[in-house]
Chains A and B, each alone.
Chain A
Amino acid sequence: MGEQATALRGQLRSLVAEQLPADFMGAFTDDPADLAAAQQFCRTLAEQGLLCMSWPAEFGGRDASVWEQTVVREEMWAHHEPRGAQYMGVNWVGPIIMRHGTPEQQQRHLPPIANGEVIWCQGFSEPEAGSDLASLRTTARRDGDGWLVSGQKIWTSYATMAQWCFLLARTSKEDKKQQGLTIFLVPMSDPAIQVRPIRCIMGPHHLNEVFFDDLRVTEADVLGEIGAGWSIVQDVLSFERVGIARYARCEKLLNDAPRALGAAWGELPDELRARWTRMLVHCRRARLLAYRLVELQSKGQVRPGDASGYRIAVTKLDQDSAEVLMEIIAAADVDDPGVRRFRDEVEDHWRYSQASTVSSGSIEMQRILLSRALLAAS
Chain B
Amino acid sequence: MILDLSPEADEFGRQALRAFESAGGDELLQQAEAKPFDREALVGGVLGDLGAWDLEPRADSDSLEAAAALCRSAGYWALPYPVAERLSRPTTGDTAGLLVVAETNPSAPVVGVRLPWTAVTLAGQSRTVVGTSAARPGFVAELELSSTTAEAPDDVALGLVLPCWTLLGMLDRALALTIEHVRLRQQFGQPLSKFQSVQFQLTDAEVERSGLEILAKHALWSAGPSSGTSAAEALDDALALRMAAIEAAEVVFRVCHQLHGAVGFCDETTLSWLSRYSQPLRRLPFGLSATRDLLTARIDGRGLTGLYAG
A interface, CB within 8 angstroms of B: 74, 78, 248, 251-252, 254-256, 258-259, 265-266, 270, 273-274, 276-278, 280-289, 291-292, 295, 305, 308-309, 312-313, 364, 366-368, 370-372, 374-375, 378
Chain A: which residue is nearest B198 at the CB level? A371
**Which residues of B are found within 8 Å of A270, using beta-carbon distances?**
293, 296
Q: Is the CB of B295 within 8 A of A374?
A: no
Q: Mark B210-237, 1 if CB is under 8 A from A, else 0.
A: 1100110110000000000000000000
Least distance between B308 CB and chain A CB atoms (Å): 4
Chain B: which residue is nearest A249 at the CB level? B308
Q: Bound state CA distance, A169 and B293, in angstroms?
A: 55
- The 8 Å CB contact of A284, one of B176, B218, B296, is B218
Main secondary structure of the interface of A (DSSP, over half): helix
Q: Is the CB of A374 within 8 A of B214?
A: no
Least distance between B172 CB and chain A CB atoms (Å): 12
- The 8 Å CB contact of B303, one of A254, A288, A305, A308, is A254
**Which residues of A are found within 8 Å of B202, using beta-carbon distances?**
371, 374-375
Q: Is the CB of B293 within 8 A of A274?
A: yes
Q: Is the CB of A374 within 8 A of B301?
A: no
Least distance between A188 CB and chain B CB atoms (Å): 36
Interface membership of B299, Cβ < 8 A: yes
Q: Is the CB of A367 within 8 A of B304?
A: no
Other A-B pairs, 11, CB within 8 Å; known A295-B4, A370-B203: A252-B308, A255-B306, A258-B303, A265-B301, A281-B304, A284-B304, A288-B217, A291-B3, A368-B196, A368-B199, A374-B206
Q: Which 5 A-B pairs have the closest CB atoms?
A: A371-B199, A258-B301, A255-B308, A288-B214, A277-B296
Q: Bound state CA distance, A283 and B206, in angstroms?
A: 17
Q: Is the CB of B308 within 8 A of A251?
A: yes
**Which residues of B are found within 8 Å of A313, using beta-carbon distances?**
207, 210-211
With contacts A254-B303, A284-B218, A284-B304 known, is A289 near B211, CB below 8 A? yes
A-B contact pairs, 30 of them (CB 8 A): A78-B308, A248-B307, A251-B308, A252-B307, A252-B308, A255-B303, A265-B301, A273-B296, A274-B292, A278-B292, A281-B243, A281-B295, A283-B306, A284-B306, A285-B215, A288-B217, A288-B218, A289-B211, A289-B214, A292-B4, A295-B4, A312-B203, A364-B200, A374-B203, A374-B206, A375-B179, A375-B183, A375-B199, A378-B179, A378-B180
Chain B: which residue is nearest A280 at the CB level? B304
Q: Bound state CA distance, A73 and B217, in angstroms?
A: 24
Q: Bound state CA distance, A273 and B196, in angstroms?
A: 36
Q: Bound state CA distance, A289 and B217, in angstroms?
A: 11
Least distance between A92 CB and chain B CB atoms (Å): 24
Q: Bound state CA distance, A366 and B193, in angstroms?
A: 17
Q: Is the CB of A309 within 8 A of B210?
A: yes
Least distance between B92 CB and chain A CB atoms (Å): 32
**Which residues of B are found within 8 Å of A276, using beta-carbon distances?**
296
**Which residues of A are found within 8 Å of B309, using beta-carbon distances?**
255
Q: Bound state CA distance, A284 and B3, in angstroms?
A: 13
With contacts A251-B308, A259-B310, A309-B207 known, is A375 near B193, CB below 8 A? yes
Least distance between A158 CB and chain B CB atoms (Å): 27
Q: Is the CB of A288 within 8 A of B215?
A: yes
Chain A: which residue is nearest B309 at the CB level? A255
Least distance between A270 CB and chain B CB atoms (Å): 8
Interface membership of B244, Cβ < 8 A: yes
**Which residues of A are found within 8 Å of B243, using beta-carbon distances?**
277-278, 281
**Which residues of A are found within 8 Å of B179, using beta-carbon distances?**
374-375, 378
Least distance between A352 CB and chain B CB atoms (Å): 18
**Which residues of B are found within 8 Å of A367, using beta-carbon distances?**
199-200, 203
**Which residues of B are found within 8 Å of A292, using beta-carbon distances?**
3-4, 214
- The 8 Å CB contact of B296, one of A78, A274, A309, is A274
**Which residues of A are found within 8 Å of B289, using beta-carbon distances?**
274
Q: Is the CB of B307 within 8 A of A74?
A: yes
Q: Mark B151-193, 1 if CB is under 8 A from A, else 0.
A: 0000000000000000000000000100110110000000001
Interface membership of B267, Cβ < 8 A: no
Q: Bound state CA distance, A277 and B289, in angstroms?
A: 12
**Which residues of A are found within 8 Å of B304, using beta-carbon distances?**
280-281, 284
Chain A: which residue is nearest B298 at the CB level? A277
Q: Is the CB of B296 within 8 A of A289?
A: no
Q: Bound state CA distance, A372 and B179, in angstroms?
A: 11
Interface membership of B268, Cβ < 8 A: no
Interface centre among B179, B182, B243, B308 (most CB of A within 10 A): B308
With contacts A277-B299, A280-B303 known, is A309 near B244, CB below 8 A? no
Q: Is the CB of A291 within 8 A of B1?
A: yes
**Which residues of B are found within 8 Å of A283, using beta-carbon distances?**
306
Q: Bound state CA distance, A114 and B71, in angstroms?
A: 50
Interface membership of B111, Cβ < 8 A: no
**Which residues of A are found within 8 Å of B196, using beta-carbon distances?**
368
**Which residues of A are found within 8 Å of B200, using beta-carbon distances?**
364, 367, 371
Q: Is the CB of A371 within 8 A of B203?
A: yes
Least distance between B76 CB and chain A CB atoms (Å): 15
Chain A: which residue is nearest B295 at the CB level? A277
**Which residues of A are found within 8 Å of B119, using beta-carbon distances?**
none
Q: Bound state CA distance, A224 and B165, in angstroms?
A: 48
